[in-house]
Amino acid sequence: MRKILYILILTAGFHSNSFSQIRTLGDQWGSKILRYYPNPASVAINFDFQKNYNNRYSLLIFNFMGKKVYELKNISYKTNINLEEFYRGIYIYQLRDKNNFVLESGKFQVLR
């Protein structure tokens, strides 16, 4: 029961823009830096840069409970992530620069 309550609280937080204190460069420019597809995904997810590519960026993925489950440093222009080790659910990605500043964040769903 407690787990369900935490999930409901987190879900409400995502819908009320609880992460709005993180101002991303994508928000400032009016569009996203990364394009990710397919969403929802089952086997793999692709991340492609639409602009401002820098190979010193890193990509972090967190599960819905906030635990970091994946990190890729020095990402390439087109990145494919195998989701074989991921459980079904919602995941949050963060694109960070070399100073660990969050440039962009978003969410995607993994289906099994």
The pLDDT value given to residue 7:
57
Nearest to 15 by CA among 110, 111, 107, 109: 107
Whether 49 is in a domain gets the answer yes
Q: pLDDT, tens digit, for every residue of 9-64? A: 555 554 444 443 444 444 444 578 999 999 999 999 999 999 888 889 999 999 99
Whether 12 is in a domain gets the answer no
Separation of alpha carbons 107 and 40, rounded Å? 10
Whether 1 is in a domain gets the answer no
Domain range for 39 is 23-110
- Domain with 41 in it: what CATH number? 2.60.40.10
Q: What is the model's pTM?
A: 0.72
Domain count, the chain: 1
The pLDDT value given to residue 11:
53
Residue ranges of the alpha helices (H) in 16-112?
25-29
The pLDDT value given to residue 55:
87
Whether 18 is in a domain gets the answer no
Whether 5 is in a domain gets the answer no
Q: pLDDT, tens digit, for every residue of 83-94? A: 999 999 999 999
Whether 2 is in a domain gets the answer no
